[in-house]
Structures are given as structure tokens and as C-alpha cells.
Structure 1
């Protein structure tokens, strides 16, 4: 499963959002769940964020969903977003990666 999640946070809460994300990524580094790729990007000069998540199984089974830090972050999004998260399932159409 590969999904893209986009959301926009209130300008004054961008730093708070980033701090919550740092806690999630610190927990991921400690727990090192297998078969998970999770990346979050802030779109340059905006309050918009984009996350790409790749994992085995469906969204509810993704390892990061079980982290307390992720649950705190997801709960916080309800109060800090100006636009709620939208989830788009991605279907591969091609890829290239140099090594």
C-alpha cells in the first residue's frame, strides 16, 4: 500500500506540527518497524504538508499507527489544520532510482 496525505496547518502552528512530527520520527528510529517507508515534507514557503507512506497491508495495519507519538500527532491535526488531511491511494506507473 502506498498513500499520499496532504494537509494545511494554521500558520502559527507550523512549528508545533513539525515538533510533533519529530517525536514520531524519533519513535520510528527507536522502534524501526519493518516494511515501512514514511516521509513527510513541508511544501516550500507554505503551511502545507505532504506525507508519503508505503507499507505492507492496509492503512490501519501500518506500524506507525500504533505509536503513541503518531496518535498524538493525528489527534492534534484535528485542531491545527485549516484543511483536513486528504488521503490519496497511489498506483505505480513507473519509477527510477539511481544507486
Structure 2
């Protein structure tokens, strides 16, 4: 299992656009139903901070999030939308409940 957490802040006037692009990713994921990973995105209370969490359950057999066209569109101009650029870090799941 591999977990990646990505944090960044978008420009205030681009926050809703960023959310719409993320929602398009989830719409395509719902259509394609790729397997092998869990993907969650959080928009924090400040309205401009986002956290993405990807958990690849079986690294050797996980479908790639990068293969989803809407995800490619999302990352294509992420730098232009950001005040604080994305920082990705590996993480270890310590515990969880439901």
C-alpha cells in the first residue's frame, strides 16, 4: 500500500474553478470505475486550501489516476491557479475508522 498526500493553496478567484475541475475528475472516475486506489479531496474552511489523498491499495495492480483525462486537465494548469504550489508527501496510515 502506498499513500500520497498533496497540499496546496489556490488564488481566491480560482478556488471555485479548482473545485469544478476536481468534480470533473470524480465524474470521470465514476464513469470509468478504475480499481486499486482510493482518492479523496478536501477543501478546507479557508476556501483556498485543498488536500488530496491517494491510497494505492495494490501498487502493482492499481489503475493510474494520471490516465484519467479530467485529471490530466486538472493538473495541466495547476501552477497558474496556485498561490502556494502543490507539495506531495508520502504518508503512512496509522489508523482509521469506517
Taking structure 1 as reference, are residues 81 and 63 closer, same or farther at Cα in structure 2, changes over 3 Å only? Answer: same
Structure 1 gap segments, 5+ residues each: none
Give the alignment's TM-score, normalised by structure 1: 0.87
Task: Give the match's secondary structure for 2:46.
Answer: coil
Cα distance in 2, alignment partners of residues 52 and 83 from structure 1? 18
Q: CA RMSD in A?
A: 1.6
Cα distance in 1, alignment partners of residues 96 and 51 from structure 2? 21
> How many aligned positions are there?
95
Stretches (4+) displaced over 6 A: none
Task: Give the match's secondary structure for 1:69.
Answer: helix
Aligned to 1:4: 5
Q: From the two aligned structures, give the one with the greater helix fraction.
A: 1
| Shift of residue 62, structure 1, vs aligned partner | 5.2
